[in-house]
Amino acid sequence: MSKSLRASTVRLTLAGAMVLLGVGGVAAGVATASASPRVTAPPPVDHQLCYTASGPNFKIPPGVRLIDQFSPNGFVPAIVNPAVVHCNPVQKILPTGQVFKITNPNAHLACFNIRPPSAQPTPTVQVTNQFGTGTLIPSQPNLLCVPSWKSLTGPPGKTPRTPPRLNHFTCYPVKLAPGTPPYSPPPVMLKDEFATKGAVNATVNPVPVELCLPTEKILASGKIFPIINPAMHLLCFPVTKTPIVPKVWDENQFGTSVVHIRATNWLCVPSTKKVIG
């Protein structure tokens, strides 16, 4: 087992131990007169409104390893330049008036096509969000989404290059399992930084197309980008057109690039998942 994987295992073991201590209050062989350790809740995951795009000037380092809940041992994919999807955090408003606000407005996603070196596990899963629950069959991973700063006027010039409190995500194409009904999204209103005149009406296709899993990314140098919120995934649905801008600048660990925005693509909804087969 590599040093990075051993380190990952140790971190997960320690994290699990801390959760047990915080929830149970006592552990065998440990006596304490003080309160249980405080367990800090992970940051929430915003809805993301995604666009087809082209960001050609990133520099992809070799040997990037991705670890997610489907591939706990990780895999080293070919990561293809340019970025092909750009996602903005987006406010969602339901017909009832309920508002899902943006909690992390600086954290966007730039997504790159990937090719795994060999077949990866793709178990059947049950995925739940505000639109319902469905049983999904994933295919092989096809995208890596990297947390990114974004600017409408020029290179963001941020330090560090990773905006805080947002996972990396590995995305898998999905289809509904036989006999599974589609989800039930209501009409929604969406507002992101491209919708300068206010929230816009949008229709969400009830059949999802991508499931994005929180991912630990390990560079060949050994630098680790840990998972921020292991429970929350993104399930992406095709959505009708919303306003766009001609271009933005994205900045992340792969560098900085102008990103040409093509068209509205998906609404990605925070979701939980359970492996069932």
pLDDT digits 0-9 by tens, 115-174: 999 999 999 999 999 999 999 999 999 999 999 999 999 999 998 988 999 999 999 999
Residue 172, beta-bridge partner list: 211
For residue 18, pLDDT over 70 is answered with no
- Residue 260 tokens read as 């040409």
Going by C-beta distance under 8 Å and a sequence separation of 6 or more, which residues neighbour residue 113? 79, 80, 84, 142, 143
Residue 13: its pLDDT value, please? Answer: 36
Task: Return the number of other C-beta atoms located less than 10 Å from residue 55's C-beta.
Answer: 28
Identify the burial level of 26 via C-beta atoms within 10 angstroms of its C-beta, where 0-12 means exposed, 13-18 middle and 19 or more buried: exposed
* Same domain as 217, residue 81: yes
Q: Indicate whether 61 and 1 sit together in one domain.
A: no
> What is the pTM for the complete model shown?
0.86
Task: Count the domains in the chain.
Answer: 2
pLDDT at 43: 95
* 129 and 7 within one domain: no
Residues 215 and 267 in one domain: yes
Q: Do 45 and 234 touch, CB atoms closer than 8 A?
A: yes
Per-residue confidence at 36, pLDDT binned at 50, 70, 90?
Answer: low
Amino acid at position 251, single letter:
E
pLDDT higher for 141 or 8? Answer: 141
pLDDT of amino acid 139: 98
Task: With cut-offs at 50, 70 and 90, classify the pLDDT of residue 37.
Answer: low
Domain containing residue 49: 45-275
pLDDT value for 230: 97
Q: Looking at the predicted structure, is the pLDDT value of residue 23 above 80?
A: no
The string of pLDDT tens digits covering residues 241-266 is: 999 999 999 999 999 999 999 999 99
79 with 173, same domain? yes
The least confident of 22-31, 41-50, 126-135 is: 22-31
What average pLDDT score do residues 108-113 get?
A: 98
Report yes or no: 55 and 260 within 8 Å, Cβ to Cβ. yes
Same domain? For 8 and 141 the reply is no
